[in-house]
Structure 1
Amino acid sequence: MPSTYLCIDLKSFYASVECIDRGLDPLQASLVVADPDRGRSTICLAVSPALKRLGIPGRCRVFELPSDVPYIMATPRMRRYMEVSAQVYQTYLGFVGEQDVHAYSVDECFIHIGPYLNLYDCDARTLAHRMIEAVRLATGVPATVGIGPNLFLAKVALDLFAKTDAEGIAELSPASFFDRTWFHQPITDIWGIGRGVAARLRAHGVVDLAGVAALDPAVLRREFGKNAEYLIDHAWGQEPCTMEQIRSYHPKGRSLTSGQVLPKPYALDQVRLVVSEMAESISADLMESGLMAGAVGLSVGYELPATDRRASTASVCAPEHTGDARSPSSADHAVWVNPNRVHQGGQRVLPHPTCSYAKLREAALKILETVVPAHGLVHRVNISVSRIIASGDAQASLFDEPADTRSERCLRGTLGEVRRRFGKSAVLYGISLREGATARERNRQIGGHRA
């Protein structure tokens, strides 16, 4: 039986939910989802379709919204969006089995419908229409659908054609793929090709998928390594990955990441405070999951005083790269530069795997000292831990004090139990009460936004 996939996207999901909860038509109301407390420079999480039809992009900043267009500003409610997303997922399960649904994000999913077309005695477009109509009746949220014989073609059909189709449904076959998308520009509209990849392709004279297909595969492999195989497959409309492979995939390694955009530029002393809080949160997550990490990574975005920007930019990045992200090298520190901000990061391999707050904090702060100058003003911080193993798999070290280790484990276990029962802010380290600390506010959020 030939494979047939749907890629379903909930139209302006956050904005649609806010419109529906206000009794408004999500396709006609003018509404943006943004947190007014974060100022006019904050990014809109979503804008309604009516505003998009006026040419307003979905991820603009509040100050970029036209002053002559009236609109409602809705404060994000992430818990509510997750509730509706779960309701939509259950609606899909009324048509297909759980094994044939892959949630790609909170508002987008892939569904393998090939095995169900005979059951429902209809074609793919008819079944797709029934499913999005069921979602609309259950939640009020409109949806668009891409249909294709593989995951890639379904996604491309959604991104390039379904969102402008009168019914919100578009289908690509292997033949129509070449006719409709091979010469489509910009190439960044194609799933999996971002600005960095597009810039590297452009250096070889490639601006569309037809150019990728025409380029010597050896050149692509030298430029992109293993990732070249994805480009080559997609240039010919092929996607070897199936739903079964997605569900059976188990990564070789694991990592945990926590990141935040700071409410204002922070001086280095304040950033040390924030990094300490984030290390404590990562430590708690490791402890609760019975895991240990063997490496700590930290990346920060910071601004330099105006007098230092030109010199710093020239020393870090060649002029022709200014403003474009470069692929990280194999060096310990990777650097990206735009005319106003610098992004730097580093990683430290720990002597022994650990979940100790003190050791994770120490490693993160050492990285911070090496990547941010004393006068840098930090606006973004990300901390990660990798080389994760189960606590039971770690070998004892001659340099660890067993009594200290047991004491910290006992303390962290007690803290975790209290926080599970009474909330994350029930017990805090003293640093979280200092000016500039962000843990209390973030404990009230989901995904960095208001719950």
Structure 2
Amino acid sequence: MIDYSQLTTNRSILCIDMKSFYASCSAVKMGLDPMTCYLAVVGDITRQGSVVLAASPALKQKYNIKTGARLFEIPNDPRIHIVNPSMNLYIKISTELTKLFNRYVPFSDILTYSIDESFLDVTGVKRLWGSPETIAFKIQQEIKSLFGLPSTVGIGPNMLLAKLCLDLEAKKARGGIASWTYEDVKTKLWNISPLSEMWGIGSRVEKKLNEMGIHSVGELANYPLHLLEKKFGVMGNQLYYHAWGIDLSKIDSHLPQQQVSFGKSQILLRDYKKEDEIKVVILEMCEEVAKRARDAKKAARTISFGLGFSKYSLGKDFQRSKTMEQPTNITMDIYKVCLDLLKANYNRGDIVRQVSISISNLVDDNEWQLDLFHQDSWKKREIGYVVDEIRNKYGPAALLRAVSYTSAGTTLHRSKLVGGHKS
């Protein structure tokens, strides 16, 4: 049994979620009611296989069209509005929402979990604004008044229970607000099954837990802790205490720390079957990853490279790394390592659909070790910073490599996107 009275994390946390955020923003922009209109935001309305990024509540309920569905699955109904994403609008509204939250709590008590979901610690402002339920209602009404957007709020004594309350009760509750306490753990949390409905448990962990005879959160909470730790290590300890509704993390502990790596992963718009075409995408991505490192005045020793293959290919996805003696942020140095890893792991004819590149083992780029065998390496480093200045001033497409203008290039297309979607 857990003695909750001994915990120091009995706080008042709000988890605020914007209901069907992309779809709701687009609906308001078009003068529609986000709760009653039939609207889908699609990655690209010109491609029948394009993914549905968001669907309005009414569209979900009537036609069962959800995020992740395809454009061709949407019925041919004149009442249904199908639109491209407006990423600049979504980002702007998300920023304004954070400013609204800041009128109730300081920035240090706000965690922007995603573009449409945030955690607020209102423990210290209850004397000013009222109970957590009152604060949640005031924020919800102000969001509706200022932006015309619907929202839901889960309330709990820690971030875990606030999030679970949001997902499992508040989104279905009349008024969109619900509250959980530690006393609700056994009656509301332990009944959760399958385990993948529990925040923080993915399909792989669920499968392993099922193999141990654990199929509900209650069974997880009552499973011997030492056996969970033996199976999962530190994660087993976390699984056990989360099943009891205990989360010791604080909002300020989730604030961004020093960058430990820079990476880029890209799902290609089509299958790449030719090795020369694959190399074009690799070079473009090396350019982008190297620029991120230079922007932070960092250089890396470890280069990681991976490929994901099409479902029509016999190739098996791989991820490989190589560590160098001399740290670098020069595009062609990173590219050369990626080509070496490509040559060692790629079989000619395999069909590529995803490329990922990351650099880690970072050091400050404030000094350069001269190399007798590569005496012009410092010039390549300086050229990189000059190119970055031009792109920062005139846009990412102001200066491109010639390969980006070939049919295999993706940089020119992606330079017109925001967050991977149309702006």
Short-chain TM bin? over 0.9
Paired residue secondary structure (2:204): helix
Q: 1:350 aligns with which of 321, 324, 331?
A: 324
2:3 corresponding residue in structure 1:
none
Matched residue, 2:369: 396
RMSD of equivalent CA atoms: 2.0
Provide Cα deviations, 1:291-329, integer angstroms capped at 9, x if missing partner.
Answer: 1011111222113657xx4xx7xxxxxxxxxxxxxxxxx
How many angstroms apart in 2 are the aligned matches of 1:396 and 1:224?
43
Contact 1:345/1:371 (<8 A) preserved:
no
1:196 is aligned to 2:168: no
Q: 1:258 aligns with which of 231, 242, 264?
A: 264
Letter in 1 for 2:389: E
Match of 1:339 in 2: none
Alignment gaps of 5+ in structure 1: 313-341
1:39-438 to structure 2, matched below 5 A, reads 39-54=47-62, 55-67=64-76, 70-120=79-129, 122-247=130-255, 250=257, 254-267=260-273, 268-303=275-310, 305=312, 309=314, 342-392=316-366, 396=369, 398=371, 401=374, 403-438=375-410
The offset of 1:373, in angstroms, is 2.0
CA distance in 2, matches of 1:37, 1:68: 15
- Distance (Å, rounded) in 2 between the aligned partners of 1:106 and 1:281: 23
CA distance in 1, matches of 2:224, 2:75: 46
1:158 to partner: Cα distance: 0.5
1: distance between equivalents of 2:422 and 2:344? 33
Offset of residue 400 of structure 1: 6.0
Alignment-derived partner of residue 5 in structure 2: none
- Secondary structure, counterpart of 1:415 in structure 2: helix
TM-fit CA distance, 1:69:
8.1
Amino acid at match of 2:411: A
Aligned partners of 2:45 and 2:71 also within 8 Å: no
Q: Secondary structure at the match of 1:380?
A: strand
Give the superposition deviation at 1:56. Answer: 2.5
Deviation at 1:37, TM superposition (A): 5.3
Q: Unaligned regions of 5+ residues in structure 2, if any? A: 1-7
Aligned residues: 413
Once residues 259 and 399 of structure 1 are traced to their aligned partners in structure 2, the CA distance between those partners, rounded to angstroms, is: 35
Tell me the amino acid that sits aligned with residue 236 of structure 1: W
Q: Which has the higher mean CA deviation after the structures are superposed, 66-75 or 406-415?
A: 66-75
- Say whether the 8 Å CA contact 2:368–2:378 is kept in structure 1: no
The CA distance in 1 between the partners of 2:164 and 2:127, in whole Å, is 25
Per-residue deviation at 1:159?
0.8
- Once residues 193 and 282 of structure 1 are traced to their aligned partners in structure 2, the CA distance between those partners, rounded to angstroms, is 31
Answer whether contact 2:15 2:159 (CA < 8 A) is retained.
yes
- Distance (Å, rounded) in 1 between the aligned partners of 2:407 and 2:53: 28
Question: 1:126/1:279 Cα in 2 relative to 1: closer, same or farther (>3 Å)?
Answer: same
1:372/1:44 Cα in 2 relative to 1: closer, same or farther (>3 Å)? farther
- Please name the residue that 1:332 is paired with: none
Q: Are the structure 2 counterparts of residues 199 and 149 from structure 1 closer, same or farther at C-alpha, using a change threshold of 3 Å?
A: same
CA distance in 2, matches of 1:358, 1:407: 13
Q: 1:235 to 1:160 in 2, by over 3 A?
A: same
Pair 1:5–1:388, CA change in 2 (3 A): same
Change (3 A) 1:428 1:28: same
Look up the equivalent residue of 2:409 and give its one-letter code. Answer: A
Q: Which residue is equivalent to 1:336? A: none
Report the secondary structure of 2:321's partner residue: strand
Take 1:414 and 1:170, find their aligned partners in 2: how far apart are those partners?
A: 54
Offset at 1:154?
Answer: 0.1
Alpha-carbon distance between aligned partners in 2 of 1:124 and 1:100, rounded to the nearest angstrom: 14
Could you tell me how far apart the structure 2 residues matched to 1:260 and 1:73 are? 25
Deviates more, 1:441-450 or 1:153-162: 441-450
TM-score (normalised: structure 2): 0.92
The answer to whether the 8 Å contact 1:159/1:189 transfers is: no
Q: Percent of aligned positions with the same letter in both sequences?
A: 28
**Quick one: which amino acid aligns to residue 296 of structure 1?**
I
Report the Cα offset of residue 349 of structure 1: 1.5
- Deviation at 1:412? 1.3
For residues 334 and 123 of structure 2, the distance between their equivalents in structure 1, rounded to whole angstroms, comes to 48
Preserved contact between residue 186 and residue 208 of structure 1 (Cα < 8 Å): yes
